[in-house]
Structure 1
Amino acid sequence: MRYIKCLVTTGAITILLFACKSSPPYDNKSLHHPLLYSQTVKQLTDVIVHDIFSPPVACRIYAYATIAGYEVMAHSGQQYQSLAGQLHGLPPTPAPSEPAMIDFPLAAMIAMATTGKAMIFSENRLQAAIDSLKAKAVAAGMPGDMLKSTVAYGQQVSAAILGWSKGDQYAQTRAGGKYTVTEEEGRWTPTPPAYMAAIEPHWNELRPFVLDTASEFIAARPPVFNMKDTSSGFYRMVNEIYTIGNTLTEEQINSADFWDCNPYKVNLSGHVSFATKKITPGGHWINICGIAAQNAKADFAKTVCTYAKVAIALSDAFIVCWDEKFRSNLIRPETVINKYMDENWKPHLQTPPFPEYTSGHSVASAAAATVLTQLYGEPFHFRDSSEVEFGLPEREFPSFIAASDDAATSRLYGGIHFRPAVAEGTRQGNLVGQKVITKLKMEQ
């Protein structure tokens, strides 16, 4: 009996020692590093690029995904408060029943990635990111019951945000009719090389996040079409783009290429066509969010806040811009120059498939830069490496506004926008950014 008791005791000690060895103390430093959140957002961006979402749709995905991550952090007891009641139609989001059992940074990443996963096509790619986060938690020694509770809470918040998203009229716009091209002079028509139909003609029907209506910051009217009178404002506007396109400097080309952000560039080689995929304008600014947070050494919560606040501004910026595009329905430089001035002229950049006025890059960039300036101040020197993976060098900026201005004027150099679309688009974007800043109370 004494021998048997000794064996049992020894076995128990062995099991205890093995358990201690296989389950090291929970070290959450790696999981709570803000760079991990940025890397997870980047994985969402990679899927958006792979699945070829248009600029407006991409920003809608970013907005809902990052709001899900933010709402988790808002319930963590830190300095941020929920956006429930501040964003149109957003009800109170679930609070954890046992906060002590939740690792909030991990739950925020799970919520963000799970929401993004539900809104893209290549779900397996984001599922791999989620599985990687879980594996990192196990490797860090997170107790099994905490991991289970944390994942469940992230999924719970994600489900609430996805439920809210269904009321924004996006599904209804999928059933909307295609845009009808008219023969009226000065109106938009499809452009080469693909002559694609206009994308998202019903985008102004979406529920905004903070704006009262899609037309809250309606643009001034563009110049009246007139290519007969060389002294008319319209002719001079067209001639400026024609002249710029024929005398591009190396710096202007670099700017145009850097901010191209065409998610689906059609390339023709003989009888073969193929697409080149890149980040959208919104995706570029989402990447700048990560650069800004890292440069400023922002903590995890502020990093999460940065992405959500900028994504909201970007999404509403595209609603404002698309509302105007299909109101003014203005012809693109390439079309008017080829018809009235030079049939062989080509813009440096490929013309996107939607009307010209106002410039989406200008609206989105100004909105994002306005919010980022409020979050991190000015000046804010940074090197933008967003396009390095697409074979382009970094560009250096003294501030977010300087980067926004560069993005806006790059559309002139690219030959795809007239100056009024850039100037008025920038004004609209500033107003959207200020509205987001004024309306959203995120810090307690």
Structure 2
Amino acid sequence: MKYLYGLVVALYFTSCVSDHAYKNNLYDSEYFHRSVKKLTDIMVYDIFSPPVASRTYVYPAVAAYEIMAQLDDGYSALAGQLNGLTPIPKIDTSSFEDPYLSAIEVYTILGQRLLFSEDKMEEFRSDLDKGWRKMGVPEQVIQASESYAQRVADHIFKWIDQDGYKQTRTMPKFSIQSDPGRWEPTPPDYMEGIEPHWDKIRTLVLDSAAQFIPLPPPVFDTIPGSAFYEQARDVYEAVNLEDEEFIAIASFWDCNPFVSHHKGHVMFGTKKISPGGHWMGIAGLAARQSGLSPMETIATYTLVSIGLFDAFINCWNEKYRSNLIRPETYINKYLDPMWRPVLQTPPFPEHTSGHSVISTTAAVLLTALFGPDYAFEDTVEMEYGLPARQFDSFIQASQEAAISRLYGGIHYMPAITEGVKQGEGVGNFIIQNLMFKK
């Protein structure tokens, strides 16, 4: 990747600010990495569902990207390309508005607005502010950059406010149908279906939530030998193998934001990263491994977050349209009432596999940025007690994420294979229709 960003920044500081030691230190991608990680950590604490997490990732990233892209001839603005997004206020470097400081500021402002635990992001923002001053950033640069970031945040929040999210908060809960082939809540908590109206959320690049409709699963049937019965048996047998590698893969890609544990009358929960959070983490690993500049780093996070956002909308459209019974429910009723999956079944319908859709989308986009043979060590889950895994490509990682749902006992194979196709459709459509780099 080639950039004119360094030249632009150099000219800015030469013309507007006398030489300061902070300049080289400020333009370190690690500040943005830290901001993304903080957003992830707070979402884990707040227990954001996977679809809602994707929304929380994308808007702050787009805002930061739009600020930085103004002064980089290698990137195109997303205004006019993403549905409903209009141009942000223009930066004025002659008034000491620094693009990178403003980008970090707008990311954390919007992140704070979209979180439940706003105080945790406010504390992080305060620490950043102290850091800029300790670094020697002139007060006029800090004040001007924060003021500009607030104007951009206000502009972006008006766009956010029109995406349909507020309206879905008042829509009715998902009603359980008596049809035996339809989804019903699963043990141990029998939670209601989450985000049944997520397909009403405005897409960013896709034409509609229903743009890539997968093939339907086999027709529901309980007769031994039928296609549906046999796909359930495949799940049953995969779990019963108790294969150590299968279990390791399932656990690594579990990414269930809240897993409940029941021991007698005692219940406690384990909080973990969401599927989208895992792939944002992979994006960060690749950006660090490749030594990307701040502009390149922000662009990477932004492209992946756009893909995750549209992929979740596309997948959720199918989930609640087909409204299919989960393997755990089917197997307990028709094969083995004592059987339990390796992973806790998430609280939403079966078809298609969300992890298969969003992982494939993210992998397609990361492959477009870094190439098809990009080897990396995935250390994202280590803080949750899981060992790192090595991959030769993003596609290989996404394939493992997809098949992990069979190994975990929470998806039939058609949900996985069709989910991969969905993810490919979403990822390739974004590549073909979003002018990202000039």
| TM-score category of the 2 structures, normalised to the smaller one | over 0.9
Question: How far apart, in 2, do the equivalents of 1:217 and 1:99 lie?
Answer: 47
AA in 2 matched with 1:394? A
Q: Is the 8 A contact 2:63 2:106 kept in 1?
A: yes
3-state SS of paired residue (1:30): helix
In the other structure, the counterpart of 1:186 is 181
Deviation per CA, 1:384-432, whole angstroms, max 9, x where unpaired? Answer: 1111110000011000000000000000000000000000001101111
Determine if the alignment matches structure 1 residue 433 to structure 2 residue 427. yes
In the other structure, the counterpart of 2:276 is 282
Post-superposition offset of 1:137: 1.3
Gapped regions of structure 1 (runs ≥ 5)? 1-22
1:7-18, aligned counterparts within 5 Å?
Answer: none
Determine if the alignment matches structure 1 residue 141 to structure 2 residue 136. yes
In the other structure, the counterpart of 1:19 is none
- Choose 1 or 2 for highest CA Rg: 1
Q: Is the 8 A contact 1:106 1:133 kept in 2?
A: no
In the other structure, the counterpart of 1:157 is 152
In the other structure, the counterpart of 1:216 is 211
* One of 260, 282, 298 as aligned partner of 2:254: 260
Determine if the alignment matches structure 1 residue 166 to structure 2 residue 161. yes
Question: How far apart, in 2, do the equivalents of 1:77 and 1:382 lie?
Answer: 28
* One of 187, 191, 196 as aligned partner of 1:196: 191
1:284-303, aligned counterparts within 5 Å?
Answer: 284-303=278-297
AA in 1 matched with 2:39? L
Deviation per CA, 1:103-124, whole angstroms, max 9, x where unpaired? Answer: 2111111111111100011111
Q: TM-score if structure 1 supplies the norm length?
A: 0.93
AA in 2 matched with 1:272? V
In the other structure, the counterpart of 1:3 is none
AA in 2 matched with 1:362? S
Post-superposition offset of 1:79: 2.1
Determine if the alignment matches structure 1 residue 245 to structure 2 residue 251. no
Q: Is the 8 A contact 1:28 1:140 kept in 2?
A: no
Determine if the alignment matches structure 1 residue 38 to structure 2 residue 33. yes
Q: Is the 8 A contact 1:26 1:143 kept in 2?
A: no
AA in 2 matched with 1:141? G
Question: How far apart, in 1, do the equivalents of 2:372 and 2:30 lie?
Answer: 23
Post-superposition offset of 1:78: 4.4
In the other structure, the counterpart of 2:87 is 92
Question: How far apart, in 1, do the equivalents of 2:94 and 2:78 lie?
Answer: 19
Question: How far apart, in 2, do the equivalents of 1:55 and 1:99 lie?
Answer: 41
Post-superposition offset of 1:443: 1.7
AA in 2 matched with 1:226? D
In the other structure, the counterpart of 1:206 is 201
Question: How far apart, in 1, do the equivalents of 2:93 and 2:30 lie?
Answer: 27
AA in 1 matched with 2:173? K
Determine if the alignment matches structure 1 residue 63 to structure 2 residue 58. yes
Determine if the alignment matches structure 1 residue 400 to structure 2 residue 394. yes
Deviation per CA, 1:229-269, whole angstroms, max 9, x where unpaired? Answer: x2221111011001101003111111000000010111111
3-state SS of paired residue (1:175): coil
Question: How far apart, in 2, do the equivalents of 1:309 and 1:122 lie?
Answer: 26
In the other structure, the counterpart of 2:12 is none
Question: How far apart, in 2, do the equivalents of 1:137 and 1:214 lie?
Answer: 42
Deviation per CA, 1:61-93, whole angstroms, max 9, x where unpaired? Answer: 101111111111112244222100000000111
Determine if the alignment matches structure 1 residue 342 to structure 2 residue 369. no
Post-superposition offset of 1:24: 9.4
Q: Percentage identity across aligned positions?
A: 47
Question: How far apart, in 2, do the equivalents of 1:152 and 1:128 lie?
Answer: 18
Question: How far apart, in 2, do the equivalents of 1:69 and 1:99 lie?
Answer: 20
Q: Is the 8 A contact 1:256 1:413 kept in 2?
A: yes
Deviation per CA, 1:155-186, whole angstroms, max 9, x where unpaired? Answer: 22121111101111000000010000011011
3-state SS of paired residue (1:66): helix
In the other structure, the counterpart of 2:98 is 103
Q: Is the 8 A contact 1:24 1:141 kept in 2?
A: no
Post-superposition offset of 1:99: 4.8
AA in 2 matched with 1:129? F
Determine if the alignment matches structure 1 residue 356 to structure 2 residue 350. yes
* One of 64, 76, 81 as aligned partner of 2:71: 76
* One of 295, 313, 324 as aligned partner of 1:330: 324
Determine if the alignment matches structure 1 residue 312 to structure 2 residue 306. yes
Question: How far apart, in 2, do the equivalents of 1:324 and 1:220 lie?
Answer: 10
Q: Is the 8 A contact 2:44 2:272 kept in 1?
A: yes
AA in 1 matched with 2:180? E
1:16-31, aligned counterparts within 5 Å?
Answer: 25-31=20-26
Question: How far apart, in 1, do the equivalents of 2:174 and 2:113 lie?
Answer: 28
In the other structure, the counterpart of 1:375 is 369
Post-superposition offset of 1:131: 1.5
Determine if the alignment matches structure 1 residue 126 to structure 2 residue 121. yes
Q: Is the 8 A contact 1:263 1:278 kept in 2?
A: yes
Gapped regions of structure 2 (runs ≥ 5)? 1-17
In the other structure, the counterpart of 2:9 is none
Question: How far apart, in 2, do the equivalents of 1:363 and 1:354 lie?
Answer: 15
Q: TM-score if structure 2 supplies the norm length?
A: 0.94
Question: How far apart, in 2, do the equivalents of 1:181 and 1:54 lie?
Answer: 20
Q: Is the 8 A contact 2:95 2:144 kept in 1?
A: no
Cα distance change of structure 1 residues 31 and 97 upon mapping to structure 2, 3 Å threshold: closer
Q: Is the 8 A contact 2:35 2:104 kept in 1?
A: yes
Question: How far apart, in 2, do the equivalents of 1:77 and 1:271 lie?
Answer: 59
Post-superposition offset of 1:30: 2.5
Does 368-377 or 150-159 show the bigger shift? 150-159
Cα distance change of structure 1 residues 99 and 365 upon mapping to structure 2, 3 Å threshold: farther
Question: How far apart, in 1, do the equivalents of 2:19 and 2:27 lie?
Answer: 17
Q: Is the 8 A contact 2:84 2:159 kept in 1?
A: yes
